[in-house]
Amino acid sequence: MVRISWVIGGPQGSGVDTSANLFGDAIAKAGYYIFGNREYYSNIKGKHSYFTLTISDVPTASISDDIDILSTFEAETIFQHFRQLKGVLLYDKNIEGAKLSNMMFMEHEVRHNISQVLSSHGLEESISGVLSYLKNNGITVIPIDFDSTLTKIMNEVNQSSTVVGKAKNVIAVAASYGLLGLDKKFLIAAVSSIFKKEEYRKINSLAVDYGMAQVQPKHDLKALPMNGSRLRVDGNYMSALGKIFGGLRMQTYYPITPASDESEFIESHQMLDLENEKEELKKAGAVVLQMEDEIAAVNTAIAAALTGARTATATSGPGFSLMCEGIGWAGMNEVPIVITYYMRGGPSTGLPTRSAQTDLKFALNAGHGEFPKIVIASGDHTEVFRDAFWALNLAEKYQTPVIHLIEKTLANSYTTIDEGPFNYNALRISRGKIVKASESYRRFELSDDGISPRAFLGSGPGKIIHEGDEHNEYGHIAEEVNIRFNMYEKRMKKLETAAKEMSERDCINTYGNMDSDTVIVTWGSSKLPVIDALEMLKADGIDIGVIQIRVFSPFPKSAISRLLANKQTIIAVESNYTAQAGQIITENTGIMPTHCILKWNGRMITREEIYKSIRRIKSGASKRIALNGGV
Amino acid sequence: MAESELILSDWCPGCGDFGILRAEESLLKELGTPLQNTVVVTGIGCSGKIGQFMNSPLSTVHTLHGRALAFATGIKVANPKLEVIVNMGDGDGLGIGAGHFVNAGRRNLDLAVILHDNGVYGLTKGQAAPTLKLNEKVKSMPRPNINGEVNPIMLALASGFTFVARAYSYDVNGTKEMIKAAIQHKGTAFVDVLQACPTYNDINTKEWYEKRIYKMTDIDPVVKDPSEVHQKIANAVLKAGEWEDKIPLGIFYKNETISNYGDRLSANIPNYMSYPPAEQQIERNGIPSTLIEKLVAPRRILME
């Protein structure tokens, strides 16, 4: 199996993302699967950002602790990452003199840690010191002459340094690419896909030539045949696409990381093509409203849903905190509304650009009072799409808020997926019980399954009353005991109806050897390193099972109880401090995880972290393992 | 109408809300908009119950404290064919909901916004609301008001409302005319309806108001050309400053030369008004109607 870990880094705003896209695109064109995780500070220009990319010959969705190729033209990236290097460093030969003390954007604590490593080895606190460290550890260091390469290109194309200077990233990419042994044509094709202007294509193609010429291949990758087409996707895109395909026609939002990209994508593509015989109805617009705050965002979306439009909002923790009252109103008024909840590190502003799974219990308990809420969590990019689509169906079928949990890790990472299994055309829309408001219409009519026929505002001559106070079947305020008793029960019953109608396949994924007496329970993007670690463990003779929970409310009680019955070792793997999913399992089934592997530092869990932790658990070392890897 | 549907109001005797209720129900009959396309959106407080007390076959949405404008925005944007009337209290709309009030002005969506302005939080027993003056003490307040007051007319002008007027709720006909003009206005229209709270506001009583109110005849509030905006707003602000001895009623400002939100959305979505979000067909026999190939194609990995 091929698994190469590549990292490119640089100051925020210097083109790190474009470089990573270019590199990833070239690798994908060569027939390899990629998974790229993006790490960045809450900052626009200057602070350290980087991209970790896994190259694999099989579908992959995890990152490594180790770096096979580190590519950069600036010093801070080298200081930040040299301890992870196992393979090759590509660097700008003109920065050898750069001193650790001059890294103006570096946090004091980071500087202190690096300083300690270098001084404990008796090395100078500079790039030269780092280079000695690397050489002593058998790491190959390859200086790249960025400046004279750029000058050469400048002379050839007769352009200013401002225009040509941007090709610096491409030189770094090309040098990395040259190490892989792949044909140049894939990178040239990637340059053509990304740069549309002939002038830039020319400059960057030269950068590819000169960049690749400065290295010798270290790997021996051959182009792989692709059976069927592949897509390169990120989480924000997949959520937006799932919603659009699912018939979303209005989305509201207030700017927040890492959720806004989704709304901006929808707005950019708001004129949609529709299947319709009538020429004038072949195009229609989805409205995206940027509201004054998340309180307005959620309530505007809820109100829009009363007219029959499928609506949603997307936010992150701080925004969701503000939305709770509105979600309660939607619960009380039985409004279909989807809240796409991109989790990031909290509490408060917390780690605005880093990932977390700390809001599962918050989502489950959002809002005062008791009302049915459906909470689903996606574990990979394809699930993000399917769940975004599904959430709109669930909301309308059960006429209640649906919270779709996605983490920053999934939002901002990108990967390649096979289009065949993605097969979105098999999905179906179901809108639940819909009627026109007749003169005797009762919005909250009691029914066996708890679901009342829903009429859209303006749909008929009948009065439609929505009411946040407790109300009777018409919607009139009512505090009489029997009405309260029955209305409360009616609302709650919808969750039981949903539980009956959801299949086990909808709620749970299993992987690995489910006959093993050891099983991992995980959710969201934490499943990604777990799945890739299974192979590594299997090679050591550890063959265990994995349960990924995808629906937390209604909780798949009987399925989880059955799958966990008689297991000796149950390991919760989550990106939080308190093993929230583990607690929810216990609350619902009485079964407690025996161990947990937890990470709350905001960085994605790596496959080695899982591998090593399971080994430790197997050797009886620890009940609770706290991970702290990453930069 | 079934008997179980008929609801009698539970406001205090003499409440100013009655006048607004009577004004709205009678003008809606006169306007000719089909009632099934009319939606009354309210906030929380005594004023918020107005929808519950309407017996006409229109639809009502009783929302959250301060959030009526956010809800109204969602309804109107998703279905611009609906007539949306917002009722909110001064605590509701200018206290907890002040952010939405200001931002509604920026959008200029075609909404009528009716402020039930009585200076107190009636339903929580008479605390000071945003329009109660500094140092005033109405009867259930333990101490005089240590917060200054908001001038709703000036705030509406500053926020960009394109129709700004004031009425007095015991003058039902006058209130009706103002609300009617607000509904007919193209853009976000605001009517500050002065009203007494006979239970908790023992300062701004019926007698107190009736000594002071008068109908404005000395300004021409209508902007006919964008070049007049500054002067017309300045005139309106001067009138809005009157309070102690005489309180003007009528239209302070009206400007239909500014694009409304529907126009702005239509600039991006040419068939927005004729085929709005609420009416779009999204599936047929469960098969999604939206074609996404155009969005998928750029993500396909190709060797060109």
B71 to chain A, any CB pair closer than 8 A? The answer is yes
A458 falls in which pLDDT band (50, 70, 90)?
A: very high
Strands A337-345 and A351-355: antiparallel
Contacts of B296 in chain A (CB under 8 A): 231, 241
CB–CB of A287 and B39 under 8 A?
no
Mean pLDDT of the residues in chain A: 97
Strands A248-253 and A287-290: parallel
pLDDT of residue B32: 85
Dihedrals φ, ψ of A553, to 5°?
Answer: -150, 120
d(CA A232, CA A33): 9
pLDDT reading at A570 higher than 70: yes
* Cβ-based neighbours of A546, under 8 Å, separated by 6 or more: A510, A511, A512, A519, A520, A521, A522, A527, A530, A531, A534
Give the closest residue to B125 by CA, choosing from B15, B196, B65, B199: B199
Q: Which domains does chain B have, with CATH numbers?
A: 3-267 (3.40.50.970)
d(CA B184, CA B178): 10
Strand partners, A375: A403, A553
Digit-coded pLDDT (tens) for A252-280: 999 999 999 999 999 999 999 999 999 99
**For residue B78, what is the nearest residue in chain A, using CA coordinates?**
A304
d(CA B89, CA B44): 8
B contact residues 152-181, partner A, Cβ 8 Å cutoff:
none
What are the start and end residues of each CATH 3.40.50.920 domain in chain A? 506-627
Give the closest residue to A244 by CA, choosing from A217, A267, A213: A267
d(CA A34, CA A591): 37
Q: A262 burial class (0-12, 13-18, 19+ CB within 10 angstroms)?
A: buried
Of A275, A300, A467, the CB nearest to B62: A467
Strand partners, B41: B61, B86
Digit-coded pLDDT (tens) for A169-206: 999 999 999 999 999 999 999 999 999 999 999 999 99
Give the closest residue to A338 by CA, choosing from A425, A413, A399, A427: A399
Q: What is the mean pLDDT of residues A374-393?
A: 98
**Tokens at residue A107, please?**
């946090």
A517 falls in which pLDDT band (50, 70, 90)?
A: very high
**Tokens at residue A263, please?**
């709304």
CATH code, A506-627: 3.40.50.920
Of A280, A302, A468, the CB nearest to B62: A468
CATH code, A3-213: 3.40.920.10
Q: Which helix (H) or strand (E) holds A202?
A: helix A198-213
3-state secondary structure of B172: helix
Contacts of B62 in chain A (CB under 8 A): 465-469, 477
Contacts of B109 in chain A (CB under 8 A): none
Digit-coded pLDDT (tens) for A225-255: 998 999 999 999 999 999 999 999 999 999 9
Tell me how far apart the terminal alpha carbons of chain B are, to the nearest angstrom.
68
Check if the beta carbon of residue A242 is closer than 8 Å to that of residue A388.
yes
B46 to chain A, any CB pair closer than 8 A? The answer is no
Strand partners, B127: B121
CB–CB of B44 and A271 under 8 A?
no
d(CA A507, CA A460): 38
Give the mutation candidate from A231, A243, A272 for the B interface (greatest B CB count, under 10 A).
A272
- CATH top-level class of A233-426: alpha beta
The angle, 0 to 180 degrees and rounded to 10, between the axes of the packed helices A198-213 and A184-194 is 150
Q: What is the mean pLDDT of residues A151-175?
A: 93
Q: What is the mean pLDDT of residues A205-220?
A: 97
Strand partners, A316: A342
CB–CB of B78 and A293 under 8 A?
no
Q: Say how many CA atoms lie within 13 Å of A274 toward its Cβ.
A: 26
Dihedrals φ, ψ of B22, to 5°?
Answer: -65, -45
What are the start and end residues of each CATH 3.40.50.970 domain in chain A? 233-426
Give the mutation candidate from A196, A465, A474, A476 for the B interface (greatest B CB count, under 10 A).
A465
Mean pLDDT by 10 residues, chain B (304 residues): 61 96 94 93 97 94 98 98 98 98 98 98 97 97 98 98 98 98 98 97 97 97 98 98 96 98 98 98 97 96 78
What are the start and end residues of each CATH 3.40.920.10 domain in chain A? 3-213
DSSP string, A423-449: -GGG------SEE---TT--TT---TT
Size of interface A-B (CB pairs under 8 A): 259
Distance from CA of A257 to the nearest CA of B (A): 22
Contacts of B37 in chain A (CB under 8 A): 458
**Model ipTM?**
0.97
Contacts of B271 in chain A (CB under 8 A): 280, 283-285
B295 to chain A, any CB pair closer than 8 A? The answer is yes
**Tokens at residue A523, please?**
């959710």
Check if the beta carbon of residue A27 is closer than 8 Å to that of residue A74.
no
* Cis peptide leading into residue B221 (ω within 30°): no
Residue A525 has what DSSP assignment? G
What is the torsional sign of CA A549, A554, A555, A558? negative
Largest CA distance in chain B: 83
Digit-coded pLDDT (tens) for A301-342: 999 999 999 999 999 999 999 999 999 999 999 999 999 999
Q: B184 burial class (0-12, 13-18, 19+ CB within 10 angstroms)?
A: exposed
